[in-house]
Structure 1
Amino acid sequence: MNGINILKSRRSCRSFDGRPITDEQLDAILEAGTYAATGMGRQSPIMIVVRDEETIKQLSKMNAEIMGSDIDPFYGAATVIIVLADKNIPTYLYDGSLVMGNLMNAAEAVGVQSCWIHRAKEEFESEAGKALLKKWGIEGDYEGIGHCVLGYGEKVPVKPRKEHYIYRV
């Protein structure tokens, strides 16, 4: 599958079967994340890989509380990549968003489904989130950009592209 077809076929998965992805798939996805464009090449984002079931449950619960729900916002995914970015870099939000995009597109390229889960900002601004970062040895002025959840399951159907998506001047 070529790059354009990968971009066109990637869709979010909101129902994972719980099977873990392989280390090889994870490594390829993470490497793609490190090659995302960043403002002036400053590489403001970091990625935290979580595969421990208890930690994923803890993060899911925190995320659900922010959302005001008791559903699993990670949809049963067995792998979560948390993307944070250094708030001292003016382009941090864009940089982290591009990392998220690279992660999801790389997942599609290696046969893994993905979904961007929001509320990482609120999660890691909380005292519990700050405590996790400290426990993990992560220091700095980081803001949560998103969670890239990974695994196997059904992708949501493709929606038709809207009219007037493109303007040429």
Structure 2
Amino acid sequence: MDFLEVLKNRYACKKFDGRQVAAEHLDVILEAGRLAPTAKNLQEQRIYVVQSEEGLAKIDKVTPCRYGAPTAIVVAFDKNNVFVYPGEQRDSGIEDASIVATHMMLAAKAVGVDSCWINFFDPEAAAKELGLPDNEEVLMILDIGYAAEDAKPLATHTQRRELSETVTYM
């Protein structure tokens, strides 16, 4: 699929059919995350693929937003391995993990897998429930699977502002 078509067709799927994601598709998705750029190439992302009933039950304890996805990818980052920007007000953790997650989300669509970016949860509660190390912060959960037959994007999905409303040349 052409990249712009991936961007146009990808939407937050909120109803999955329950079929497990094909291993070869999951491999492509995870590889896309691995290839994502990170500040100073620190690669501080930590990716957890949750597919077991026990693991998915833990996801369900921290968010109502799994929507029946058979796989949840938890994207976290090592808080002790981030680049601190000049001024020391920000670091690369959230930014880098977001780039990784976005790469995986778009790769999923490119191979015919639907997804939903989930951030409706308490990151500390999620880390605790999943037993993650103290040095890791959960950024988001990416539900992935195949859309149910009656799943569809929001009615406003195709509505976009004109570039002139969001872009300023200086």
TM norm structure 1:
0.83
- CA contact under 8 A between 2:16 and 2:68: conserved in structure 1? yes
Q: Deviations over 1:103-153 (max 9, x none)?
A: 110000100000100145x24x23x733532xxxx5451110100100111
Gaps of 5+ in 2: 83-90
Shift of 1:87: 1.5
Structure 1 residues 134-153: aligned runs within 5 Å: 139=133, 141-153=135-147
2:70 corresponds to which residue? Answer: 78
> Which structure carries more helix by proportion?
1
Q: Percent identity?
A: 38
Shift of 1:55: 1.7
Report the AA paired with residue 112 of structure 2. Answer: G
Structure 1 pair 46/108, CA: closer, same or farther in 2 (3 Å)?
Answer: same
CA separation in 1, counterparts of 2:10 and 2:129? 34
Worse overlay, 3-12 or 16-25: 3-12
Gaps of 5+ in 1: 64-71
2:87 corresponds to which residue? Answer: none
How many residue pairs match? The answer is 154
- CA contact under 8 A between 2:49 and 2:73: conserved in structure 1? yes
TM norm structure 2:
0.83
1:102 corresponds to which residue? Answer: 103
Shift of 1:86: 1.4
